[in-house]
Amino acid sequence: MTPPPGSLLAAENLRKTFGPTVALDGAHFSIHPGEVVAVMGPSGSGKSTLLHCLAGIVPPDSGSITYDGRELSGLSDTARSALRRSDFGFVFQFGQLVPELTCVENVALPLRLNGSPRKEAERAALTWMERLEVDDLKGKRPGEVSGGQGQRVAVARALVTGPRVVFADEPTGALDSLNGERVMELLTDAARSTNAAVVLVTHEARVAAYSDREIVVRDGRSRDMERAI
Amino acid sequence: MSIGHTLLGLLESGPRHGYDLKRAFDEKFGHDRPLHYGQVYSTMSRLLKNGLVEVDGIEAGGGPERKRYAITDAGITDVERWLATPEKPEEYLQSTLYTKVVLALLTHRDAADILDTQRSEHLRSMRILTDRKRKGDLADQLICDHALFHLEADLRWLELTAARLDKLRAAVTR
Ligand SMILES: Nc1ncnc2c1ncn2[C@@H]1O[C@H](COP(=O)(O)OP(=O)(O)OP(=O)(O)O)[C@@H](O)[C@H]1O
Ligand SMILES: [Mg+2]
């Protein structure tokens, strides 16, 4: 099968089992550059598994994933990790910042891993921290900032490499309404300004309302609500 | 919303002309639906008849919008009573959505499909409100949030119902 025209990342007929558990049972997905797509559905329906497959973290048992015209399964493990570092950014629900590093070091980390010199990396990191309004936390460690602040630091880190796709799995799951809203505003503003695509897993409708469209995953099968109508 | 009480409340800070009342109302509360002049006059004449306001002066030129109204003591008491009385929570027990889902199950149609389509429609409204909220001022934000939380409540019900469809099917087709 061919991915929908113009899509940056597309998956066809994904299947993934964990032992006897069928996590994905023929899931489809596609996203355009600059698009924010919400992935919704009940707990255990396969949303995170879908995200992990799309990001090349977990290989599906069968089905195809194309990113920018390339088939992900055709890449070596090394090439896939390199792609993740250069083209993808990640935001999760919690526990993603390195506790021993300061906030600015955390944000600079993806650039350092890509070989940038420290000074340059931290300068770029600070620019993103300013955009997410957490630059005043630069010298603090993650244990010394609030959940909402930490989440904004995590968003800055996800965006610092200029990713073409941001994967966010319940990015506001641990936040109250006001902080969750702020994180979503900043994340989607930043993504729009860089034309990055955002894959947003959430079970909260008010969070999904920041997306351009939604797909619903149920029992490992996905339903694209826009195309279905 | 009680337009009468709202206009009365606006008069508490001092007498106003009809056109001034309309402007103040629209600016503070008329985000979606500005008042018609007709509504202002009919409301004011009712308040006048009930002794809750009095005419404080008439500007030259005539016409009802030229009348200046002042709140009376009875009017102040009325606003106070209105503010202190809690609104009755709406209970939506006769929800159309519930009826649709049960009917779909009774007629062996795809109820999950109905729920998915409804979710999509709700999200469409929520996106518009979210966008408006992002571009708006604090008043817009509060108004949109109120609508968003209500839509979200519907959606939570939809999710829960989707998760209980098998049980519900068994119960209604028994
Ligand atoms: N590493 C794993 N090993 C075994 N089973 C797994 C693993 N990851 C996921 N599963 C199973 O696959 C199914 C889908 O899980 P997944 O995490 O994708 O759900 P989800 O939609 O993200 O749920 P939630 O909303 O609760 O996060 C579940 O039944 C889960 O138990
Ligand atoms: Mg999950």
Name the β-bridge partners of A65: A11
pLDDT score recorded for residue A229: 39
How much is the CA Rg of chain A, to the nearest whole Å? 17
Lowest mean pLDDT among A12-26, A164-178, B28-42: B28-42
Chains A, B: CB pairs < 8 Å = 48
pLDDT of A3 strictly over 80: no
Q: Can you tell me the ipTM of this complex?
A: 0.85
- Which residues in chain B have Cβ-Cβ distances shorter than 8 Å to A228? 116
pLDDT cut 70: percent of chain B above it? 95
- The stretch A120-143 carries a mean pLDDT of 94
State how far Cα B44 lies from the chain centre. 21
What separation in Å is there between the alpha carbon of A220 and the centre of ligand 1? 10
- Ion ligand 2: residues, Cβ under 5 Å: A 48
Q: What is the pLDDT of residue B64?
A: 58
- Residue of chain B whose Cα is closest to the Cα of A44: B163
Q: Report all structural domains of chain A as residue ranges with CATH numbers, in order of start.
A: 1-87+164-176+195-224 (3.40.50.300)
pLDDT of residue A228: 45
Query: How confident is the model at residue B65, as a pLDDT?
Result: 63
> Is the pLDDT at A1 greater than 60, yes or no?
no
Interface test with A, best of B110, B122, B134 (most A CBs within 10 A): B134
Position with higher pLDDT, A174 vs A65: A65
pLDDT at A19 over 90: yes
What does chain A come to in residues? 229
Ligand 1: residues within 6 Å at CB?
Answer: A 18, 21, 23, 41, 43-49, 203
- pLDDT of A4 strictly over 90: no
Res. B44: pLDDT tops 90: yes
Distance A222 CA to ligand 2 centre (A): 15
Proportion of chain A above pLDDT 70, given as a percent:
97
Q: How confident is the model at residue B62 (pLDDT cuts 50, 70, 90)?
A: low
- Residue B94, pLDDT > 70, answer no
**Mean pLDDT, chain A, whole residue set:** 92
How does residue B5 score in pLDDT terms, banded at 50, 70 and 90?
Answer: very high
- Mean predicted confidence (pLDDT) in B43-53: 95
Distance from CA of B148 to the nearest CA of A (A): 7
Can you give the residue ranges of every domain in chain B?
A: 3-84, 96-172
The yes-or-no verdict on residue A136 having pLDDT over 70 is: yes
Cα maximum dimension of chain A: 51
Asked which of A139-148, B68-77, B99-108, B146-155 is least confident by mean pLDDT, the reply is B99-108
**pTM exceeds cut of 0.95:** no
Residue (of A222, A228, A225, A226) closest to A51 by Cα position: A222
For chain A, what percent of residues have pLDDT higher than 90? 76
pLDDT at residue B61 greater than cutoff 90? no
Q: What per-residue confidence (pLDDT) applies to A73?
A: 87
For residue A145, is pLDDT > 90? yes
Confidence of residue B74 (pLDDT cuts 50, 70, 90): very high
Residue type, B166: D
pLDDT at position A95: 66
Looking at residues B16-29, what average pLDDT do you find? 90
Q: Ligand 1 centroid vs A150 CA: distance in angstroms?
A: 25
Q: Whose CA is nearest to atom 1 of ligand 1?
A: A18
| CATH 1.10.10.10 is right for the domain spanning B3-84 | yes
Contacts of residue B52, defined as CB under 8 A and 6 or more positions apart, other chains included, come to B4, B8, B71, B72, B74, B75, B78
Q: Give the mutation candidate from A181, A186, A207, A224 for the B interface (greatest B CB count, under 10 A).
A: A181
Q: Which residues contact B172 (CB under 8 A, 6 or more apart)?
A: B102, B105, B106
b/e for A159-198, b at 16 or more Cβ within 10 A? Answer: bbbebbbbbbbbbbbbbeeebbbbbbebbbebbeeeebbb
